[in-house]
Amino acid sequence: MLFVWIMLWTVAVLLLFTNTGRTPGRWLSLVAFFGGAGALASLLGDHWRPLLAAGGLYAEYEPWLYKLQQACSWASYYGLPYAFLCFCYSYGTHKLPERFDKRAFWLFAVFPLLMLLFPSETTLYPVRFGLLAVWALPYFAIGAFLLLSKKIERRDEWLSHVIVTASVLPATLFACVMNYTMPLFGVYNMWRYNTWPIMIGFTICVGSMFTFGFLGVRLLVERKQLDSSIRVATSGTAMLNHAIKNDLGKIKLFGDKIRRHAVKSSNVELEQDIAIIMNASAHMEQMIRKVHERTQELELVRERVNLPQLLSACLASFEPIGEGRVKVTEDFNGQLEAFVDREQTMEAIHNVIQNALEAMQGTGELHVRVWQARKQSVIEVRDTGPGLPSSQLRKVFEPFYTTKSGTSLSFGLGLAYCHQLMRRQGGSIQMASKPGDGTTVYFYFPKI
């Protein structure tokens, strides 16, 4: 049980500190914490208290250790079904009516708190299993239903949902049978067999954190790395831009001086050569300006914005799209609004639509949608282009990474700019793509 205790509380800490702002992750950390509390109660009763008794220290510490063991048992028996139901409710898509939804977690806590009013059944079994089963078993059943019946709105959520379900549900339901159901038939101490299901769930959970992600844990690590990369890129390009602009100023100054001399001396060939040099310097200046616009952190001018109108304005700037060869499908919820910087958000959406049109090479379907998630408003842009393999998909938000050919005037800063902007506005941007299946980009805005 020592390893079970360490495993569960390790997962609890990881989920708690890497899911700031994500309610399901925090509730799942509580599930792991209460499960670990049961393992700690087992360690105290079967190992540590007998060990201290053998060393002659039992009499001094016994009352405190027994109280700690009892508290851990209560936390495990009463807290596990409560935390599991709260996790499934916050993670799932089935909700109570709005007037009860905000108080759901308090309503779920009524039965666990009432159990504290009843005395222990015996000193050996610190809970009343009959009363416990009356509410705990329905809690587990309802939680399992909410978890399994969650509606998946995006294709890229399927894998994440399968991973969460596989790591949480089998171990929890196994504990439900061993810890809550078997004692009703007079069979106790079956919790000792919980070790293997917990180890399997732990392996899936931790393994996914380093591969696909688990409730946003991997995404958080990647986001921190990405933010660091953007900061380095911003400072580096600022220095480079400054140096190049200084030299371009010299080129323009002396080039203009040579051009005047060529005009004055009627040297047509020299005048043509200088025109080429001046055009090249102007082109370089334009490129530097574009890089600067993508890497500097402009001040946000937030306002209440109607998202369907914002998206319509972006689409209007592309008309006629692909000379009529690109079919555009619109699915708007006209009531959705967000508190964002209008101009910069339009530029971010413009970047994504431009990427989609370039990927389809002028032929295909562009589907744009505005819809409401539970706590977010979402703009979805989907194309029927060639799609991206997972190796490229992981890098698309990195500064200076581009999948376009070398002949394209692309700096690989458009999506990095989108990521930085959405993060500063309290939202996020995600991309889903598969080779041959097109690409979908999601802009998530905080609900107002």
What does the DSSP assignment read for 368-433? Answer: EEEEE-SSEEEEEEEE-S----HHHHTTTTSTT---S-TTS---S-HHHHHHHHHHHTT-EEEEEE
Q: pLDDT, tens digit, for every residue of 380-406?
A: 999 998 888 887 887 787 766 676 655
Indicate if the pLDDT at residue 443 is higher than 90. Answer: yes
**Looking only at Cα atoms, what is the longest distance across the chain?**
111
More confident residue, 201 or 225: 201
Q: What is the mean pLDDT of residues 171-179?
A: 92
Indicate if the pLDDT at residue 374 is higher than 80. Answer: no
Nearest to 448 by CA among 370, 336, 342: 336
pLDDT of the residue at 164: 86
Find the DSSP H helices in 149-212. Answer: 157-175, 195-209
Which region among 42-51, 67-76, 222-231, 436-445 has the lowest average model confidence (pLDDT)?
Answer: 222-231
pLDDT of the residue at 210: 64
Amino acid at 304: R
Indicate if the pLDDT at residue 82 is higher than 80. Answer: yes
Indicate if the pLDDT at residue 80 is higher than 50. Answer: yes
Q: Which pairs from 313-322 meet CB under 8 Å and 24+ separation?
A: 313/346, 314/346, 314/349, 314/350, 314/353, 315/353, 315/368, 317/350, 318/353, 318/354, 318/357, 321/357, 321/366, 322/357, 322/360, 322/362, 322/363
pLDDT of the residue at 217: 54
For 175, the token pair is 């504990």
pLDDT of the residue at 222: 53
Domain ranges of the chain: 1-216, 222-294, 302-446
Please state, in angstroms and rounded to a whole number, the distance separating the CA atoms of residues 214 and 159. 10
Mean pLDDT, the chain, rounded, equals 80
Please state, in angstroms and rounded to a whole number, the distance separating the CA atoms of residues 380 and 182. 49
Task: Provide the pairing of β-strand 302-306 with 337-341.
Answer: antiparallel
For 437, the token pair is 């299946």
The SS3 assignment for 330 reads strand
Indicate if the pLDDT at residue 426 is higher than 90. Answer: no
Cα dihedral 200, 201, 202, 206 sign = positive
Domain 302-446: give its CATH code.
3.30.565.10
pLDDT of the residue at 207: 75
Q: What is the mean pLDDT of residues 160-180?
A: 89
Contact 391, 355 (CB under 8 A): no
Percentage above 70 pLDDT, the chain: 77
Orientation of helix 58-91 relative to helix 157-175, angle to 10° = 140
Amino acid at 427: G
Cβ neighbours for 355, distance < 8 A, ≥ 6 positions apart: 414, 415
Indicate if the pLDDT at residue 8 is higher than 80. Answer: yes
pLDDT band at 138 (very low <50, low <70, confident <90, very high): very high
Indicate if the pLDDT at residue 324 is higher than 70. Answer: no
Q: Report in angstroms the alpha-carbon separations of 413 from 147, 355, 420.
A: 39, 12, 10
pLDDT band at 219 (very low <50, low <70, confident <90, very high): very low
pLDDT of the residue at 298: 63
The dihedrals phi and psi of 445, each to the nearest 5 degrees, come to -115, 140
Indicate if the pLDDT at residue 358 is higher than 80. Answer: yes
Which region among 4-8, 28-32, 82-86, 318-322 has the lowest average model confidence (pLDDT)?
Answer: 318-322
Please state, in angstroms and rounded to a whole number, the distance separating the CA atoms of residues 390 and 396. 10
Which region among 199-208, 394-403, 431-440 has the lowest average model confidence (pLDDT)?
Answer: 394-403
More confident residue, 261 or 395: 261
Q: What is the mean pLDDT of residues 298-322?
A: 81
Indicate if the pLDDT at residue 407 is higher than 50. Answer: no
pLDDT band at 206 (very low <50, low <70, confident <90, very high): confident
CA 425 from centroid of its chain's CA atoms = 15
More confident residue, 122 or 38: 38
Indicate if the pLDDT at residue 351 is higher than 50. Answer: yes
Q: Which pairs from 246-249 meet CB under 8 Å and 24+ separation?
A: 248/281, 248/284, 248/285, 248/288
Q: What is the mean pLDDT of residues 88-114?
A: 86
Angle at 162 between CA 171 and CA 25, to 5 degrees: 70
Indicate if the pLDDT at residue 233 is higher than 80. Answer: no
pLDDT of the residue at 41: 85
The total of other beta-carbon atoms located within 10 Å of residue 357's CB is 18
For 337, the token pair is 């609004």
Amino acid at 46: D
